[in-house]
């Protein structure tokens, strides 16, 4: 698939070292987003015409800058300024911004750039400027195939985000999820994939069989999910580049709740038999299956710590659904959730320090986070029904799904994807063409 | 010794008191249940505790043999009514020895998807175990959990949820 063509990145100038330049603090709720001006990327007329033929957009430079703007705004950390107020022409701004002009419209940071058509390739250079200090913060150029133009916008946003927050971005990523249609009692579900901003939505299955809980391999374009193919609920492995798929393991019963290990080499999942669900791993290289838990209760929703040494999971061995942590060999099982209510779907943060979860208490569902020893529980959002958080690759944002309450006649059901910052701020619906559930966030596609 | 006997008498009195309290509580609860039923629109549905006891949604494997049993929230314990239904199913299956069945276990929408898949499996197995104790061979019974994926009632209320917490016996041939 073309989207996966590797993007070649050439550093023209190594980012200059900072001294007292602007910074964005992402550790607290940001109520005062940084004003940033995204100057449209300049383009010569010849290049513009060439790209118009290929991507059917009038001005690729404008389109890429729009992607950057939307990304920055969605992050909640930046406030992209209205372009009507810009005084300096894009091509000149990219050479040397007149900082007074940008200062006048209260921009603290400025993005400029240039797009050109060279040897049938798309070449983009961009610069990030600190308006107050009058300094260049980042300058980069990349060359790629023209069809990758949206990804260029995402990669630029990632570079800007990283330079201003000190942490990696999450914009050049994709979301795999379950697209839903039809009445609640006969829901049709398909696997679907889209860019993080909702573009390039594509259905991966036809809806002939029920599919649930797709999850990305953190190291490749593989996906694991649950399919009811031939009415046998089994964990499958799907290569989204080739479309090849296979059943994981040879279990005489339902396998479900799959997830990859951090190195992508194992799948961890539940196997249910005779009323008892246990957690197993399967090594994808040598196909060796290991039983990890051994308890007559329900043990499910396993998730590895990023170093692969621990597993958090959901069990009702205490009588009700709670969150437990154990070593990856199944030893040292410890309950970590002790608050009021039921706890489910624990997911270890890619940063390693937190576990996100779903909580049910007094008829309300919450998405929350706690430290890996269960301390510091913090609830981020409350609703009638929501569950299944998935972390952005930098561990700063959670995506989950929410279902509405139906009316007296059972009408008005919908399921949608939502995202929220770890800070509890910036809660927003993620647009999808159909109803949606079970989102899983990919790793960064580049770097 | 004396003290001990006194204590026993006291305990007896306390137990009696407890019984009286429990009975009044039950009556109060029953009143609540009745008023709840009276206010809800679907008067055909009934619940005991939060287990569905009505006949809505039930289909029949044969005359007088209901196809499903219902569960309390988060539970997979068979109620007295459920055991009676399953005994009827067992009798029917003994008479019709060529029939095989799939027990489809379900949960309501008020739980996380993955836990509900496990819960549905546990419920269907509770029904399977009971059928087996009444002489139905395990190779005539397969189990399939749908978790919360296939509700029969799309309502978002306790009555709808009670109908959805179920194990349904479906003929497989």
DSSP A82-140: PGGG--S-HHHHHH---HHHHHHTT-SEEEEEEEEEETTEEEEEEEEEETTTTEEEEEE
Q: What is the CATH number of the domain that holds B122?
A: 3.30.1330.60
How many beta-carbon pairs below 8 A join chains A and B?
106
Per the DSSP assignment, residues forming a β-bridge with B47 are B52
Query: Cα B53 to the chain's mean position, in Å?
Result: 8
Q: Same domain, yes or no, for B77 and B20? A: no
Taking CB atoms and an 8 Å limit, are B114 and A300 in contact across chains? yes
pLDDT value of residue A9? 42
Give the mean pLDDT of A310-336: 98
- Taking only the tens place, the pLDDT of each residue in A34-69 is 999 999 999 999 999 999 999 999 999 999 999 999
Q: What is the ipTM of this complex?
A: 0.92
A27 pLDDT band, cuts 50/70/90, is: low
pLDDT value of residue A260? 98
Q: Same domain, yes or no, for B21 and B68? A: no
Q: Same domain, yes or no, for B92 and B145? A: yes
Q: Same domain, yes or no, for B92 and B28? A: no
Q: Provide the domain count of chain B.
A: 2
CA distance A216 to A259: 8
B16 pLDDT band, cuts 50/70/90, is: very low
Q: How far is B160 from chain A (nearest CA, A)?
A: 9
Q: Between residues 280 and 309 of chain A, which touch chain B (CB distance below 8 Å)?
A: 298, 300-301
> Whole-number mean pLDDT of chain A?
93
Taking CB atoms and an 8 Å limit, are B115 and A316 in contact across chains? yes
Taking CB atoms and an 8 Å limit, are A321 and B160 in contact across chains? no
Q: Same domain, yes or no, for B31 and B60? A: no
- Taking only the tens place, the pLDDT of each residue in A76-124 is 999 999 999 999 999 999 999 999 999 999 999 999 999 999 999 999 9
B45 pLDDT band, cuts 50/70/90, is: low
Taking CB atoms and an 8 Å limit, are A388 and B112 in contact across chains? yes
Residue A190 host element (H or E): strand A188-195
pLDDT value of residue A447? 57
Mutate: best of A251, A270, A295, A298, partner B, most B CBs <10 A: A298
Is A188 in the B-facing interface, judged by CB distances under 8 Å?
no
Q: Which two tokens stand for residue B111?
A: 């739980």
Q: A387: Cβ–Cβ under 8 A, 6 or more apart, which residues?
A: A344, A345, A358, A365, A367, A400, A401, B112, B113
CB A23 within 8 A of CB A164: yes
pLDDT value of residue B164? 98
Q: Same domain, yes or no, for B85 and B155? A: yes
Asked whether residue A21 carries a pLDDT value surpassing 90, the answer given is no
Q: Same domain, yes or no, for B118 and B65? A: yes
- Taking only the tens place, the pLDDT of each residue in A391-423 is 999 999 999 999 999 998 889 999 999 999 999
Taking CB atoms and an 8 Å limit, are B112 and A344 in contact across chains? yes
Is A53 in the B-facing interface, judged by CB distances under 8 Å?
no
Asked whether residue B39 carries a pLDDT value surpassing 70, the answer given is no
Measured between CA atoms, the residue of chain A closest to residue B73 is A320
- How many Cβ atoms sit within 10 Å of the Cβ of residue B44? 11
Q: How far is B6 from chain A (nearest CA, A)?
A: 37
Is A344 in the B-facing interface, judged by CB distances under 8 Å?
yes
How far is the first Cα of chain B from the last one, in angstroms, to the nearest whole number? 69
CA distance A320 to A314: 10
Q: Between residues 353 and 392 of chain A, which touch chain B (CB distance below 8 Å)?
A: 358, 360, 363, 384-385, 387-388
Nearest in space to B115 (alpha carbons), one of A374, A320, A267, A176: A320
Give me the residue from B113, B118, B152 closest to A185, CB to CB: B152
CA distance A117 to A234: 48
- Taking only the tens place, the pLDDT of each residue in A182-208 is 999 999 999 999 999 999 999 999 999
Q: Which residue has the tokens 């550790």?
A: A27
Mutate: best of B112, B119, B122, B158, partner A, most A CBs <10 A: B112
Q: Same domain, yes or no, for B32 and B102? A: no
Question: Which segment of A215-224, B25-34, B136-145 scores lowest on mean pLDDT?
Answer: B25-34
Q: How far is B136 from chain A (nearest CA, A)?
A: 16
Q: Between residues 130 and 169 of chain A, which touch chain B (CB distance below 8 Å)?
A: none
Question: Cα dihedral sign for A225, B112, A433, A426?
Answer: negative
CB A110 within 8 A of CB A93: yes
Q: Which two tokens stand for residue A3?
A: 């989207």
pLDDT value of residue A16? 41
> Whole-number mean pLDDT of chain B?
83
Asked whether residue A387 carries a pLDDT value surpassing 80, the answer given is yes
Taking CB atoms and an 8 Å limit, are A298 and B122 in contact across chains? yes
pLDDT value of residue A221? 84
Q: How far is B123 from chain A (nearest CA, A)?
A: 7
Is A337 in the B-facing interface, judged by CB distances under 8 Å?
no
- Per the structure, the complete domain to which residue B64 belongs is given by 47-171
Which CATH number among 2.120.10.30, 1.10.10.10, 3.30.70.860, 2.60.40.1730 corresponds to the domain A174-441? 2.120.10.30
Q: Between residues 133 and 172 of chain B, which touch chain A (CB distance below 8 Å)?
A: 143-145, 149-157, 160
Give me the residue from B113, B125, B154 closest to A213, CB to CB: B113
Spans of all domains in chain A: 2-165, 174-441
What's this model's pTM, rounded to 2 decimal places? 0.88
pLDDT value of residue A162? 96
Q: Same domain, yes or no, for B135 and B75? A: yes
pLDDT value of residue B143? 97
Q: How far is B2 from chain A (nearest CA, A)?
A: 41
Mutate: best of B77, B117, B161, B163, partner A, most A CBs <10 A: B117
- Give Cα separations from A136 to A139, A140, A181, A271, A352 (angstroms): 7, 11, 49, 55, 33
CA distance A85 to A93: 14
- Taking only the tens place, the pLDDT of each residue in A276-321 is 999 999 999 999 999 999 999 999 999 999 999 999 999 999 999 9
pLDDT value of residue A29? 63
CB A407 within 8 A of CB A395: no
CATH of domain A2-165: 3.40.50.10070
Asked whether residue B2 carries a pLDDT value surpassing 80, the answer given is no
């Amino acid at each position: 698939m073309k989207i996966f063509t590797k993007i070649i990145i050439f550093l023209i100038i190594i980012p200059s070292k900072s001294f007292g330049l602007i910074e964005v603090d992402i550790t607290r709720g940001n109520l005062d987003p940084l004003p940033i001006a995204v100057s449209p990327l300049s383009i010569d007329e010849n290049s513009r015409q060439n790209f118009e033929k290929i991507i059917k957009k009038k001005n690729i430079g404008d389109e890429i800058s729009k992607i950057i703007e939307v990304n920055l705004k969605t992050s909640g950390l930046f406030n992209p300024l209205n372009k009507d107020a810009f005084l300096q022409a894009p091509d000149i701004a990219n050479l040397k911004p007149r900082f007074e002009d940008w200062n006048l419209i209260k921009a603290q940071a400025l993005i400029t750039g240039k797009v050109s058509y060279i040897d049938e390739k798309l070449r983009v250079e961009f610069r990030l400027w600190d308006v107050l200090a009058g300094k260049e913060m980042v300058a980069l150029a990349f060359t790629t195939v023209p069809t990758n133009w949206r990804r260029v916008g995402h990669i630029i946003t990632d570079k800007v985000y990283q330079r201003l927050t000190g942490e990696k971005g999450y914009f050049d990523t994709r979301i795999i999820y379950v697209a839903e249609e039809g009445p609640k009692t006969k829901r049709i579900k398909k696997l679907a994939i889209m860019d993080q901003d909702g573009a390039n939505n594509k259905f991966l299955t036809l809806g002939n069989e029920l599919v649930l809980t797709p999850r990305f391999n953190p190291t490749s374009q593989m996906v694991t999910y649950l399919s009811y193919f031939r009415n046998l609920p089994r964990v499958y492995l799907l290569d989204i580049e080739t479309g090849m798929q296979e059943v994981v393991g040879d279990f005489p019963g339902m396998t479900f709740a799959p997830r990859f290990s951090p190195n992508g080499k194992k799948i961890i999942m539940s196997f249910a038999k005779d009323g008892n669900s246990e957690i197993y791993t399967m090594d994808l290289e040598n196909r060796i299956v290991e039983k990890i838990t051994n308890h007559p209760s329900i043990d499910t929703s396993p998730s590895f710590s990023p170093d692969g040494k621990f597993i958090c999971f959901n069990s009702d061995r205490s009588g009700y659904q709670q969150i437990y942590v154990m070593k990856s060999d199944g030893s040292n099982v410890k309950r970590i959730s002790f608050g009021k209510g039921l706890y489910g779907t624990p997911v270890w943060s890619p940063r390693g320090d937190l576990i996100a979860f779903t909580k049910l208490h007094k008829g309300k569902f919450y998405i929350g986070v706690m430290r890996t020893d269960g301390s510091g529980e913090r609830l981020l959002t409350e609703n009638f029904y929501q569950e299944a958080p998935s972390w952005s690759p930098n561990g700063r944002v959670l995506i989950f799904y929410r279902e509405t309450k139906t009316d007296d006649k059972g009408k008005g059901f919908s399921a949608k994807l939502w995202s929220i910052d770890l800070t509890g701020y910036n809660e927003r619906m993620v647009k999808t063409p159909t109803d949606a559930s079970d989102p899983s966030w990919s790793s960064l596609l580049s770097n | 010794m004396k003290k001990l006997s006194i204590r026993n008498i006291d305990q007896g009195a306390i137990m009696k008191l407890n019984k009286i309290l429990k009975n009044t509580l039950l009556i109060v609860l029953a009143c609540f249940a009745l008023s709840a039923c009276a206010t809800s629109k679907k008067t055909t549905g009934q619940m005991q505790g939060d287990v569905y006891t009505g006949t809505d949604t039930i289909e029949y494997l044969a005359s007088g043999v209901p196809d499903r049993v219902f569960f309390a929230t988060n539970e997979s314990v068979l109620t007295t009514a459920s055991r009676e239904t399953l005994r009827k199913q067992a009798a029917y299956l003994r008479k019709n020895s060529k029939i095989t069945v799939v027990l489809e276990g379900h949960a309501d929408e008020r739980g996380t998807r993955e836990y509900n898949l496990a819960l549905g499996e546990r419920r269907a197995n509770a029904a399977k175990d009971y059928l087996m104790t009444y002489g139905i061979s395990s190779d005539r019974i397969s189990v399939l959990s749908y978790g919360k994926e296939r509700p029969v009632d799309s309502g978002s209320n306790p009555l709808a949820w009670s109908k959805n917490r179920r194990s349904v016996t479906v003929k497989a041939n």
